[in-house]
Amino acid sequence: MKEHILFITGKLAEKNLKKVLDCIEDKKFSYEIKNLNINVAALLTTEMIKRRIGDISNFDKIIIPGRVKGDINALSKTLNISIERGPEELKDMPVLFGGKPLKYDLSKYEVHIFAEITDAPLMSIDQIINLAKYYTSNGADIIDVGCLPNQPFPHLAEAIQELKNQDLYVSVDSHDNDELILGGKSGADYLLSIKSDNFYILDEVDSYPILIPNKPGDMDSLYECIEKCLKMKRTFIADSILDPINHGFTSSLLRYSELRKKYPDIHIMMGTGNITELTHADTTGMTMLLMGIISELKINHILTTEVSNHCSTVIKENDLARRIMLASSTNAITPKHIHPGLLVTHGSEGFQYNLDEIEDLAKKIKDSNYRIMISDNGISLFNRDGIHTYTNPYDFFDHLNIGKDVGHAFYLGMELAKAQIAFQLRKNYEQDEELDWGCLFDKPAEDKLTFKKSGPTYKKKNDT
């Protein structure tokens, strides 16, 4: 006998919930949907469900919206029935019933991130340590201490030792052979860069070398160093050098492909800064595309920087991109619908509701509280007195009835500004929620057992 399930929802989501449930093939359950007379299902609480749910004697299980606040274990005991939280997004509902998982394991990665501190000679030890900790918190695996041409670095050895005291992997990046030797003798794990004319350094230190060509495009000199290391049984990483766009970028990509074909088992590094730093475009897209190339060529390491203002979150972006690409290749799928964190400007889907649906909802509103929603037609502001839809928030001014309530005016201004940004960028907008900027900003963990504090508008109303 099929399990009979009651799905709890609100007015807005009822139709879409039915569509999603009806699309589940070979359902091993029957179901009913109960709208608890609330517009937005996410605003339900377990206490509200307990008061409004009514007779449930015919059901084997209840599934409530994923964003419902409160203790569902206590509710389950009170109602004497099994209760589950559904997913936060309706489109993920089939997963509960054996559908293909829409969430993938992003705990693993195969590409290691070298994050360069580019001006280390100009920084104090404390500044180097603090920046290193910041980079590692964003996903860096190795801290690359960048030296500067003709710039003394008297505290190089101390900087390396202090970084090692923090249990960090360290590389030294210099064109000065003496600095490379000092770096190796001071405990650096990797040296950037070693080529045929300074290969002798490997006789003096135990650090792993990053091998590069003598000059751009000189693959024979790189192969010479690789063969020497293989003969010596010396662990190394090879980097054929990625050139900037319109300065040999495509040819340099082909050299990485050639390197991988010639040596299928060696470790390879790609320095991505020549693209992200020297291209004025948002880095999330560049990072994702470069990581796709890195995934296909089985490149093991990247070297990246956060020098330019538009590159200030590149390490964090690479950390997520490498995980998405591993999930993509492991599951033999394109890197789409795995994680939205690199969709920082636009949303992955269209707007949740059309204007007809919003207008239908507006007709059911019985109170004076303003609701804000967006559709392809613009921003809709409505309460019991009617609905207005514009693309410019200033056009709402003559229709607002808030008297001298400064708190409410401030609140509506903030929400309409957010709604305008979401409308312009075609991002999802939910009233009272922050806009989603992907991996650029960490969202605070949400505790579903606690409730948001009353805002200033609500407090003001209660105080009057």
pLDDT tens digits for 218-228?
Answer: 999 999 999 99
More confident residue, 462 or 205: 205
Residues 263 and 287 in one domain: yes
Strands (E), 247-367: 267-271, 301-304
Residues 91 and 116 in one domain: no
Examine residue 93 and state whether it is found in any structural domain, yes or no: yes
Question: What percent of the chain clears pLDDT 70, i.e. is strictly above it?
Answer: 94
Residues 244 and 379 in one domain: no
Examine residue 339 and state whether it is found in any structural domain, yes or no: no
Residues 248 and 155 in one domain: yes
Predicted TM-score (pTM) of the model is: 0.79
- What residues make up the domain containing 448? 355-459
Answer whether residue 197 shows pLDDT above 60: yes
C-alpha neighbours within 13 Å on the C-beta side of residue 17: 23
Q: What is the pLDDT of residue 17?
A: 87
- 80: domain CATH number is 3.40.50.11600
Q: What is the mean pLDDT of residues 203-223?
A: 97
Question: What percent of the chain clears pLDDT 90, i.e. is strictly above it?
Answer: 78
The total of structural domains in the chain comes to 3
Residues 154 and 254 in one domain: yes
CB 155 within 8 A of CB 128: no
Q: What is the largest CA-CA distance in the chain?
A: 84
**Which of 141, 195, 85, 68 is closest to 303 using CA atoms?**
141
Q: Per residue in 340-369, pLDDT tens?
A: 999 999 988 889 889 999 999 999 899 999
Q: Which of 97, 128, 160 is the last residue of a domain?
A: 97
Examine residue 347 and state whether it is found in any structural domain, yes or no: no
Examine residue 337 and state whether it is found in any structural domain, yes or no: no
Residue 81's alpha-carbon distances to 5, 21, 67, in angstroms, are 11, 21, 20
Helix axes 177-185, 156-165, angle to 10 degrees: 40
Q: Per residue in 77-131, pLDDT tens?
A: 999 999 999 888 777 787 777 665 556 889 999 999 999 999 999 999 999 999 9
More confident residue, 462 or 454: 454
Q: Per residue in 149-165, pLDDT tens?
A: 999 999 999 999 999 99
- 182: domain CATH number is 3.20.20.20
Q: What is the pLDDT of residue 356?
A: 93
CB 75 within 8 A of CB 68: no
Residues 186 and 326 in one domain: yes
Q: Which of 62, 97, 132 is the last residue of a domain?
A: 97
Q: Indicate the pLDDT class of residue 19, thresholds 50, 70 and 90.
A: confident
